[in-house]
Amino acid sequence: MSVDTTRISEAIAKGQMDELQAITQKALDDKVDPGTILNQGLLPGMDKVGQLWREGEMFMPEVLRSAKTMSKAMDILRPHLSEGDLGSAGKMVIGTVAGDLHDIGKDLAGMMFEGAGYEVINIGIDQPNDAFVEAAIEHKPTLLGMSALLTTTMPRMGEVINSLKESGIRDQMAVIIGGAPVTQEFADEIGADLYAPNAGSAVELTRQFFHR
């Protein structure tokens, strides 16, 4: 049994929550392998959303709805997935740095990574430097993401990277940073591996980084 990838892609892109849940449930009822539904249906569908967003064919409110739609379908699929199916792309810890309460961009980036098959551990806003390090020690992610929206909180990102170095775990993960005032120059300065100007490009840049 295969999945109707075109219908799934379309339902995700159009944010058709009920439709996507019905397709997912039907595929499960038809005994389609849950990993196939995820890897050949939902993940490529969300990839398409990321691509349309990067190309300016979709806008943020639509992308948010698509991410929510994907997440609703995941609620149905998750209990049927084996451990190997989940987090197949890797594990990510993501948070907003200390003193910063902005979470919309961070959550959007987290949702895009979830849509790309990452197991995402979102530690929230206003997270002290130690919280990033502790989460990295606990969850052993392949990717650590930090978001900052204020020029006054950006320096926390460099401090977290230094703490990761001091804890001897810096080399065990890639660090990606983002947020309106953040630049590539700043990322280079503090020794982050990746800078993403927007959540749509973050997944693609990360893929390129890991496959270089």
CA-nearest of 162, 104, 94, 96 to 127 is 96
| Beta carbons of 136 and 169 less than 8 angstroms apart | yes
Is residue 63 part of the contact set for ligand B1M (CB under 6 A)? Answer: no
Q: Figure out which of the listed residues 106, 119, 157, 174 binds ligand B1M, where binding follows CB under 6 A.
A: 106
Query: Minimal distance in Å, beta carbon 199 to ligand B1M?
Result: 4
Q: What are phi and psi of 140, to 5 degrees?
A: 50, 60
Rounded CA gap, 70 and 75, in Å? Answer: 9
Q: What angle, 0 to 180 degrees and rounded to 10, lies between the N-to-C axes of helices 60-77 and 43-54? A: 170
* 41-44-49 Cα angle (round to 5): 120
Assess 151 for contact with ligand B1M (CB under 6 A): yes
Q: How many CA atoms lie within 13 A of 105 on its CB side?
A: 23
For residues 47-56, one letter each, b for 16 or more C-beta atoms within 10 angstroms of the residue's C-beta and e for the rest, the string is bbbbebbeee
145 is a contact residue toward ligand B1M (CB under 6 A): yes
Closest-approach residue to ligand B1M (CB): 105
Q: Is residue 99 close enough to count as binding ligand B1M by CB under 6 A?
A: yes
Q: Give yes or no for residue 102 binding ligand B1M (CB under 6 A).
A: yes
Task: Choose the binding region for ligand B1M from 15-23, 72-80, 100-108, 128-136 (rule: CB under 6 A).
Answer: 100-108
Please tell me whether residue 147 binds ligand B1M under the rule CB under 6 A. yes
- Identify the residue among 23, 89, 93, 196 touching ligand B1M (CB under 6 A): 196
Instruction: Select the residue interacting with ligand B1M from 149, 161, 174, 187 (CB under 6 A).
Output: 149
Using CB under 6 A, list all residues that contact ligand B1M: 60, 94, 99-106, 108-109, 145-147, 149-151, 176-181, 196, 198-199, 202
